[in-house]
Amino acid sequence: MEKINIMIVGVGGQGSLLASRVIGTAALKKSYDVKVSEVHGMSQRGGSVVTYVKLGKKVNSPLVEKGEADIIISFEKLEALRWIDYLRKDGRMIVNSQRINPMPVITGKEKYPENALEKIKSLCSNVIFVNALEIAKELGNIKVVNMVLIGILAKLIPIEKEIWLEALKEVVLEKYYSINEKAFKAGYNI
Amino acid sequence: MKKLMLGNEAVARGAYEAGVTVATAYPGTPSTEITENIAKYEGIYSEWSPNEKVALEVAIGASIAGARSICSMKHVGLNVAADPLFTVSYTGVNGGLVIMVADDPGMHSSQNEQDSRFYARAANVPILEPADSMECKDFVKEAFRISEEFDCPVIVRLTTRIAHSQSIVELGEKEEYKLKEYKKDPGKYVMMPVMAKKRHVEVEKRMARLREFSNKTGLNSIEWGNKDIGIITSGIAYQYSKEAFENASFLKLGMVYPLPTDLIVEFAREVKILYVIEELEPFIEDEIKKLGIKVIGKDVLPVTGELSANILREKLLDKQYEGKTCIEEKIPARPPVMCPGCPHRGMFYVLKKLKLTVSGDIGCYTLGALPPLESMDTCVCMGASIGMAHGMEKARGKDFAKKTVAVIGDSTFIHSGITGLIDIVYNKGTSTVIILDNSITGMTGHQHNPTSGYTIKGEPTKQVDLVKLAHAIGIERVKIADPYDIKEFEKVVKEEISTEEPSLIIAQRPCALLKHVKFEGPLRINKEKCRICRMCMRIGCPAIVDNGNYIEINEALCVGCGLCTKLCSFDAFQKAGDINGKN
Ligand code: SF4
Ligand code: SF4
């Protein structure tokens, strides 16, 4: 494997930073070079957030640029559309079908795109849709949406499951490990 | 051992390994995590200072007393700390002194884009620029050595993409650093004119020595490749250049001031075309042009925003990216918003309702400028809201002041709002100032400050009593009001703006994200009772959704603060769960 470029996109507060830490840590444990880039601050307050994770033999720039992403994980369906032009021509997407209205939609100034999922499908042939919020709710904690999605991603990357779980253990607080592990496995087994 | 670390975390690690014992800062994105992480190491005294100027002064004191000390801030913070910076360049140090500055090209969370390298040049201080987390750690350690060897403070400059990127760091051992002896030396440390004049001569000598050093240090290095293209670059721009020009020759600068002129001349001689690739201003480029060397740089590259490998490919190699075509549809923007349950929301609702002119400041509450609340008129820099409101009054008179308020957070008030308030009292203003006291520094991610009652390590400490403080500086009218209680809050604001004397309203309600803040849990709208009047929409809570012919609450977002219920005349809000008697 030369290099895998991943983007995590979503809405501030959905836990994408933690998710990127898990991927980065797993990659390190697998002895890849890895870079993770994120922007803190304003974007955490419910704004659009994007995190780049690049792993491979040698990584220079921490950014994934237009047309370069091998995989995009979108924590929200509108965000998937916003960032889709970062996807490589034959890239893959994992899309959480959750909808969170941006403020201009809430105030009625703009419209949330109709049929977002169909549009994504028409632009990307290799896409996995999942209702991660529902899965997380069933597990008893809506905060683990992120780990469900990481579980799905884990299968697409040449890193063993045990390594992922070790990384998870290192990154999340001990008292939340078991719920996160369940969420990860739920995603992994989809 | 290898670890994946944020640039900021790696800086903290470098400080630890260098034997630093004093660390100071005021939080500011993208620099905040440096000191947050330093505070986790035992044996390093760490503090959130009230502002960057104080932070630097504390670090200078520690350095003169013999300790290695580090002070961190964002670029705009360096403006605040500029005063001591220029003079500590004269006094020099005893224990090493490193100043971390994080610039924010692209303004991800800043009010301007500014290039801190000019401060280094103006203050005659060397500046280093790491290009990944590993270098963050190594350069900080090297900066301490330079600081002591050349008797000067050293600035280490990060940018957002270095500070907030994680890459691999090889951990090292902690150096045993012994506190240096403190010797009284007024000629060196008391900067009154007679002594300062002598020190300036020393500073110039030091710069000459540093110029020599810059040519020799391993911080600046040449990586030979194809000699058709030579690239001089530093920091994150180095990474983008490597991505765009894999086989070119590189002169990678780790020390960007003073520059290694001999090395530059040598490099320039060998390559056919020479590019200087740097973010923001043509700092390196101008210095090189002064040497009479021809370079391509800002004539084609932008001086605004961040660079990227694609920008370089496009501007220098004339290549366009090949990717997906965008969908034709307009994707709605998703600007940041105040959180569900945020205490500022009720206050802004009142200010908007009363149609007041609002002189604003820097913090979460700056988001009150965006729709639907749109109740902020100005925002310039930390602490400016109060002085600006006073200026408005002096320009337009007391009647204008009766329709104007200044709003400022608790942390920002301590940072530099207090002096503005003193000015109002002293110069007979009548402004009304609202301190949004949410018991924390919210925007940067919940850091303590002198009004919160806790230190950076979470230890309880004395808490500033804002009421007594206001009285002490001469404010006689001080009111405490709860912004959740919209009616009462409105009454208080109306009263205070109508008086012809300065007054202070302390809007007190802790930030909704604080762990000890508990809410009742999400609400739901009873569709039978709701008349779709949309009154509740006016507070701009992201959890309330207008679905066209019905209003709904997003239960995954709603915390149950109850603010919206106060606007509903039809009693349509219920606790989620009790509509059908089940969850
Ligand atoms: S972090 Fe706290 S203060 Fe800031 S917007 Fe959210 S609730 Fe409000
Ligand atoms: S109770 Fe109302 S205002 Fe408060 S978070 Fe829920 S929907 Fe928003």
* Residue A135 C-beta-side C-alpha neighbours within 13 Å: 26
The whole-number average pLDDT for the span B469-492 is: 97
Query: With an 8 Å Cβ cutoff, is A56 touching chain B?
Result: no
Report the range of poorest mean pLDDT among A175-184, B328-337, B459-468: B328-337
Report the range of poorest mean pLDDT among B21-25, B328-332, B479-483: B328-332
Residues 6 or more apart from B54 whose CB is under 8 A from it?
B24, B26
Cα-Cα end-to-end distance for chain B: 49
Give tens-digit pLDDT for A92-136: 999 999 999 899 888 888 889 988 999 999 999 999 999 999 999
B511 pocket-lining for ligand 1 (C-beta < 6 Å): yes
The beta strands (E) that lie in A97-190 are given as 127-130
Angle among Cα B6, B11, B12 to the nearest 5 degrees reads: 95
The strands making up B221-223's β-sheet, listed across from edge to edge, are: B221-223, B248-253, B226-234, B273-277
User: How confident is the prediction for chain A on average, in pLDDT?
Assistant: 93
Cα(B440) to centroid of ligand 2, in Å?
21
| Alpha helix ranges (H) inside B177-234 | 186-189, 193-216
- For residue B324, the model assigns a pLDDT of 55
Which has the closest alpha carbon to B190: B87, B53, B313?
Answer: B87
The answer to whether residue B238 scores a pLDDT higher than 90 is yes
Tokens of B515: 């762990």
Question: Rounded to an integer, what distance in angstroms lies between the CA atom of residue A153 and that of residue A9?
Answer: 13
Cα-Cα end-to-end distance for chain A: 24
Query: Counting ligands in written order, which one lies closest to the CA of residue B554?
Result: 2
- For residue B579, the model assigns a pLDDT of 45
Residue B200 buriedness (CB in 10 A; 0-12 / 13-18 / 19+): middle
Tell me how far CA of residue B375 lies from CA of B38, B394, B551, in angstroms. 38, 22, 24
What is the residue with the minimal CA distance to atom 7 of ligand 1?
Answer: B342
The pLDDT confidence band at residue A44, using thresholds 50, 70 and 90, is low
B440 pocket-lining for ligand 1 (C-beta < 6 Å): no
Residues 6 or more apart from B345 whose CB is under 8 A from it?
B338, B373, B483, B539, B540, B541, B563
Instruction: Kindly state the DSSP code that residue B461 receives in the 8-state scheme.
Output: -
- For residue B320, the model assigns a pLDDT of 79
Which has the closest alpha carbon to B449: B421, B480, B418?
Answer: B418
Question: Rounded to an integer, what distance in angstroms lies between the CA atom of residue B385 and that of residue B217?
Answer: 46
Give tens-digit pLDDT for B178-217: 999 999 999 999 999 999 999 999 999 999 999 999 999 9
Which has the closest alpha carbon to B135: B328, B5, B309?
Answer: B5
Question: Rounded to an integer, what distance in angstroms lies between the CA atom of residue B544 and that of residue B261?
Answer: 60
The pLDDT confidence band at residue A24, using thresholds 50, 70 and 90, is very high
Query: Ligand 2: residues within 6 Å at CB?
Result: B 340-341, 523, 541, 543-544, 553, 558-564
Answer yes or no: are the C-beta atoms of B51 and B1 closer than 8 Å.
no
The answer to whether residue B577 scores a pLDDT higher than 80 is no
Instruction: Kindly state the DSSP code that residue B416 receives in the 8-state scheme.
Output: I
Chain B contacts of A24, Cβ < 8 Å?
4, 166
The pLDDT confidence band at residue A40, using thresholds 50, 70 and 90, is confident
Residue B469 buriedness (CB in 10 A; 0-12 / 13-18 / 19+): middle
Ligand 2 pocket: which of B523, B535, B557, B566 to mutate (most atoms <8 Å of CB)?
B523
- For residue B399, the model assigns a pLDDT of 96
Query: With an 8 Å Cβ cutoff, is A97 touching chain B?
Result: no
B338 pocket-lining for ligand 1 (C-beta < 6 Å): yes
Give tens-digit pLDDT for B535-561: 999 999 999 988 888 999 988 889 999
Instruction: Kindly state the DSSP code that residue B414 receives in the 8-state scheme.
Output: I
